[in-house]
Each structure stands twice: as C-alpha cells, then as structure tokens.
Amino acid sequence: MTRDTSSQAARGWRWAGYAGAAWLIFALFRASVNNGWDLWCTVTAALGVAGVGTWAVFERALLRERSRGRNVRYGGQVIAAAAMLAAALALVNFIAVRHNHSFDLTEAGFFTLSPETKQVVAGLKRDVEVLAFFPANRRAQPADVLRRYAELSPHFHYELIDLNDQPDVAQQYDVTAEGTVVVKVPKAPGEPAVSGKPIKIEPEENTGKTPTLSEEKLTNAIVRAARATSKTIYFLEGHKEADIANPEPSGYARVKTALEDQAFVVKPLFLPAKAQVPADCAVLVVAGPGKEPLPGELAAIRRYLEAGGKAMFLVDPSPGAGLESFLDRWGVRVGGDIVMDTSGAGRLYGAGPAMPLIKDYDGQQPITRNFRLMTFWPLTRSAAPKENSGDAVPWPLAQTSPDSFAEPYSGGERHLRFDAARDRKGPIVVATAVTRAAKEGREARLVVLGSSNLVTNHFFTREGNGDFFLNCVNWLAEQEGMIAIRPRSPQDRRIQMTEAQARGLFWLVVVVMPLAALAAGVVVHLRRR
C-alpha cells in the first residue's frame, strides 16, 4: 500500500513537471507570436515554473541519483552546448533588430526606396501620420512599404486600418474605397498649423488588380502635407502657347495635373491685362509661344526676373518664337536651327531623327544630379550657355549624342544627312539653366528648353520627359525636396512557348523523368540482389 501510494505520488509530481514544461512553452510561443510579453505570458510562465519546480523538489532524490551517471554528464554537456547556441542566436537576433538591414536583389530595385524618398523622409522636422485603409488579407505590400519609410525617421508614423473594423475613422476622412491612403501632419505645441486638409491618395480605378501603395504618390503626399503654404505657377498665354486646360495630345493638361499633385497652384496669365507679373508668382512658364510677346510684356518679365523671379522658357524651332534677343541677355544662346539625331537610337522607341533621344545630363547640378532617365525631345532647337554671359551663370542641363547635328532651320524642309559646310556637329545642348544675382540679395533663376513638345499630353509620360520638366520646376520654385519618382515595375520574365514546346516539356517532366528515376531504382535493386 505504501509502495503504491509512493508510486502514485511520483506519477503525480511527474505530470506536474510535464504540465509546467507545457506552460513554459506556451508562454514563449505566445510572446513570439504577439511580438511582446503580456499578462497571459507572465501567468502561464509562473505556472510553468511552479510546476517544474514542484516536480524538482519532490523528486530531488531521484535527480541526485541519476545525476551521477555517465549519460547524465553527456546530456548535460549537450544541454550546455544547446544553451550556448541559443544564447548566440538570441544575441544575433537582438543585433539584427537594433540594426536592421535588408538586401534588394531585384533588377529594378523594386524593394528599395529611392534616394529622393530617403532624403525627404529623413529630413522631416515634424511628425507625419499615414493612415492606410487596406483589408487584413491585402496588407503585405503596403505594410512592407510603410515599414521601410518608418525606418528612415522617428517622425514618420503609420497605421493600417480595415474599413469594416473602423468605419468611424473611414467616415472621418471620407474614405469609401479600399487602398485609400490619408497623409496628415498633426499640429505640435509651438509649431504653426499646416495649410489645407489632410492629403488623400485615392486608389486607381478599374484596374482589376489588388490595390497597392505607390512610393511616388506617398512621398509627394508627404511633402505636400508638410508644406505650410502652396506656391503658384503661372503659364503665360495670348501668344499661341500650349494650353494647360487642353486634354488633346498637343495640350498641357497632364502638366497641370502633375503640378497640382505636388501642391502647386496653377493659373494662366494674360500679361497685357496685368501689366506686371503677379506678386505671388513662384514660377512663370512660357510654353512654346507661336509669336513673340509684346515689348511691354517682355519688359514686365524682365523686371520680374531682375527682382529675383523664376521663369522657364520652352522655345520651339521656327516658326515658333525663339525669344533670342531676350534670352541672350540672360546668358542663353538660342539657335535658329533644328536638332537631328542620326544615331538610330530613337528608332528603337518609334522615334525618328527629328526626335533626339537624350541620356547625357550634367550630374553636378541639382536638377539633373540624380537623373538617370532617357528623355525624348521632339522638334527641338539648341539652347546652350553663352560664352560671354556677363553676371549671369549658365550651365548646360542636357545634350544630344555625338551622332546628332543642328542644321539651320526656318520652318521648311529638314535634311536627314549631316552637311559639314552648313550644319553643326553634335553633341548639341538643348537645355540650359541660369542663375543671376538680383535685388536685395535674392537670386533669379531661369531654365530654357529647346522644345515645348517635350511635355505635351502625348509625350509627358514618355520615359523621363515629365520627370525632367518637374525637376526643373521644383528647382525654379526652390523646392528641391519635391520630386518626381518613377514607380518601379517588375520585369516581365515570362517564357512564351509554342504548343509543340509545351507538349514536349510535359512529356519530359511528367513522363520521361519519373520513368527514368523508376528505372534507375529497379537497376540498383537488381544489382544489389
């Protein structure tokens, strides 16, 4: 009876030990899943320690007896080695969490934020909050993007919200569609309130795809939300310039939309009715005038620039107005020519000789320092820095390939072959930026492009055309932080096979290879017998 009671007691202590070990494992598992230690973890860990401790106390004689054996010593060494390995792994994990770093091996850098985004987010001086409305089963991509943003700055905060779980929050920001993102800047004590409402990024409509979070739109929304005031850009009109309200291929509606997306206010300017450039003008754009502005208008523009204004001129070959005399005073030599590219590079993209393909930019200047995109310049004339520019400081922004040339042009027939007696051999500069000291310590800025067709609705999204234009505008507006990031798209690596090739692959993988493996096994078996 005594022996049976003792046996039952030992069995009970053993089960207490098993239960304690199970509770300890449960506590560790819960902490790892929840990525944190909560009250349940503490309670279950305490129960586990109590269970294992109870078993150890009441079975101490058995433990003392078994601890003297050789197997126990060897087992202790194994346990000690395992504990040291676990400690090393824990240390590595701790260091990895504190100094997180990842490697992007995709060809297009699909999982790496652009240098411009890193500069913008790392330079945040005030808190920015992002509310991303994505359902729980579609959060992998936006969560990964937002995590990479948050790693760049302690001022960046985000929250993933399900429309169904938090309808009150969605109603507060008038969000009705999954994939919508709201960017806001809360007012901190002692800081001025930002102008305008929170910036809302709407998901693309009717794409048939799972909504994703665009780096380009998010970064620009962050800059827009953090900006205290909006700057105004005026487009000169009345001289057959490109129309910012025209959605046709030759219009500038996409230019207007892109600028408004970056929080600029875009307005037309009929200068004869104003007599002077408005005081709130951050940048004046003269886009492809068909005839030269009136002398009074040019005088008003000159006064604006001399007072530290900023302007962009997009001048087309004849019969467009080149404004040669006006721009010459600002250190830019606009040629009476048209640039032809005989390298054949543009033909790979459906472009002819009259549409040079440019990939050579000045990497030392803010506009093109990190610019690595090709641009198409349809019907462009030369616009190069003048040698004796006086107090103006011009520099070339973009130039064509050595296989190009500039031929004299007055609107007639174009020649496709270089004539050394008449033409000027490439490379030809087609874009120039100028700085000049102005009144009261201010700095006037000027950008001259040899083509207004560069950013018409038809060409704005072609390669890097729109990005180049927006970079120029942002530099002129002294908003170098505002950027135009091209969204990265994964390369299409699909293999196209004919029906015969697909059938052959099926027989090889499904029939031939399994039969070959079976035959090899039979041969080995027979040889062993």
pLDDT confidence bin for 450, thresholds 50/70/90 = very high
Only one residue has tokens 């320690």, namely 49
- Quick one: average pLDDT of 107-115? 66
The whole-number pLDDT of residue 78 equals 61
Percent of the chain with pLDDT over 70: 80
Cβ atoms 294, 240 nearer than 8 A? no
Cα separation values, 25 from 40, 51, 86, 88, Å: 13, 13, 15, 20
Predicted confidence band of residue 70 (pLDDT cuts 50, 70, 90): low
Q: What is the pLDDT of residue 418?
A: 83
- Which pLDDT belongs to residue 350? 67
pLDDT for 412? 76
* CB hemisphere CA count around 424 (13 angstroms): 16
The mean pLDDT value for 78-104 works out to: 67
Mean pLDDT of 33-40: 72
What is the rounded average pLDDT of the residues 168-183? 87
Q: Any bridge partners for residue 313, and if so which?
A: 286, 448
- pLDDT greater than 60 at residue 485: no
Give per-residue pLDDT as tens, 204-225: 654 556 778 888 788 878 877 7
SS3 424: strand
Q: Whose structure tokens read 């790496």?
A: 112
Compute and round to an integer the Cα radius of gyration of the chain.
35
CA angle 490, 221, 219 (to 5 degrees): 45
The per-residue pLDDT for range 290-325, each reduced to its tens digit, is 999 999 999 999 999 999 999 999 999 988 888 999
In the predicted model, what is the mean pLDDT of residues 13-21? Answer: 77
pLDDT of residue 79: 67
Q: Check whether 287 has a pLDDT greater than 90.
A: yes
Distances (CA, A) of 513 to 173, 506, 509: 59, 10, 6
Per-residue pLDDT at 65: 60
Tell me, what amino acid is at 484? Answer: A
Q: What is the pLDDT of residue 303?
A: 94
CB 322 within 8 A of CB 393: no
Confidence of residue 366 (pLDDT cuts 50, 70, 90): confident
Identify the pLDDT of residue 489: 47
Q: Which residue has the higher pLDDT, 5 or 504?
A: 504
State which fold the 115-215 domain adopts: Glutaredoxin (3.40.30)
The CATH number of the structural domain formed by 230-476 is 3.40.50.880
Q: Which of 484 and 5 is assigned the larger pLDDT?
A: 5
User: What pLDDT, on the 0 to 100 scale, is given for residue 241?
Assistant: 92
What is the pTM assigned to this prediction?
0.62
Q: Quick one: pLDDT band at residue 99, thresholds 50, 70, 90?
A: low
Residue 341 has pLDDT above 90, yes or no: no
Taking the C-alpha atoms of 233, 234, 240 and 246 in order, what is their torsion angle to the nearest 10 degrees? 60
Q: For residue 62, name the pLDDT band (cuts at 50, 70, 90).
A: low
CA atoms within 13 A on the CB side of 261: 18
Which pLDDT does position 1 carry in this prediction?
46
Mean of per-residue pLDDT scores for the chain:
81
